[in-house]
């Protein structure tokens, strides 16, 4: 018998921990044909999304997908991310979080980030940033 994945539960728990402690939760996603994300912000086959309550509308972290509304360059978009495509969730301010195995292969699509975008396409570099732990 296959047990349900713990991944969506861990994503919800870390998201809640970030919000409760005043941190901004970000997810790193490897988009594929199933994911509905702004492709112009995909860089090196991944996109990093702010999933904080102030940056999203109608956020739902389900057992199979994450859905929400967000603005990119002032334009509201509906996003859909399969749970399998989430590679990590972490607090922007200190990098504390968790990384995961992904079911999908990284996309080869890339896009340039717009200076007016409020969403970074990769985590901010920090020499003292803790390493994320991979959960299998």
Between the two ends of the chain, the Cα-to-Cα distance in Å is 18
* Average pLDDT value for residue range 72-97: 96
Give residue 105's pLDDT: 56
Residue 121 clears pLDDT 80, i.e. is over it: no
Q: How many domains does the chain have?
A: 1
Could you report the per-residue pLDDT of 41-83, keeping only the tens digit for each?
999 999 999 999 999 999 999 999 999 999 999 999 999 999 9
What is the CATH number for 90?
A: 2.30.30.220
Nearest partner of 30 among 41, 46, 43, 42, judged by Cα: 46
Question: In degrees rounded to 5, what are phi and psi of residue 63?
Answer: -80, -20
Residue 111 clears pLDDT 90, i.e. is over it: no
Q: What domain range is 82 assigned to? A: 7-122
Give residue 122's pLDDT: 46
Q: Is residue 47 part of a domain?
A: yes
């Amino acid at each position: 018998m296959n047990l349900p994945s713990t991944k969506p539960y861990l994503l919800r728990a870390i998201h809640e921990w970030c919000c409760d402690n005043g941190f901004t939760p970000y997810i790193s996603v490897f988009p594929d044909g199933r994911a509905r994300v702004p492709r112009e912000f995909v860089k090196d086959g991944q996109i990093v999304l702010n999933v904080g309550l102030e940056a999203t509308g109608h956020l739902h972290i389900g057992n199979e997908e994450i859905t929400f509304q967000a603005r990119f360059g002032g334009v509201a978009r509906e996003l859909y991310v399969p749970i399998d495509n989430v590679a990590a969730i972490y607090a922007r301010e200190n990098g504390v979080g968790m990384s995961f195995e992904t079911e999908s292969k990284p996309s080869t699509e890339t896009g340039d980030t717009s200076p007016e975008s409020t969403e970074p396409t990769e985590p901010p570099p920090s020499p003292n940033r803790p390493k994320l732990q991979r959960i299998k």
